[in-house]
Amino acid sequence: MSTVRYAAFLAITLLLQSRSAAVAAANFTIPFLSPFFGDNACKENLCGKGNCVTSNNSTFGFECECEHGWKQARSQDDDFLAFLPCVVPN
């Protein structure tokens, strides 16, 4: 009897989980995270001595492009850290 209950519970859980994943994929912009992600990511994020640029290829939806004479505290090969502010002088 417990095996049947477990199987039913597992089936319902998997069904609900797949449905919520589909909804989340369709609506990625979550309202309470919108100041940090999405179209207005650059309104709230500071890039130090650089300019914020929205990007779909970045970790948080924006990248910082440093002004001349400044750089980010990261290796040039770390593309996934392009959101870091420009705070290190050259």
Pick the closest to residue 42 from 34, 78, 75 (CA basis): 34
Using one digit for the tens of pLDDT, what is the confidence trace for 20-58? Answer: 554 555 445 555 554 555 557 787 778 999 999 988 887
- pTM metric for this prediction: 0.54
- Averaged pLDDT for residues 7-27: 64
Residues 6+ apart with CB under 8 A from 57: 79
Q: Where are the domains of the chain?
A: 2-89
Dihedral sign, Cα of residue 66, residue 67, residue 72, residue 75: positive
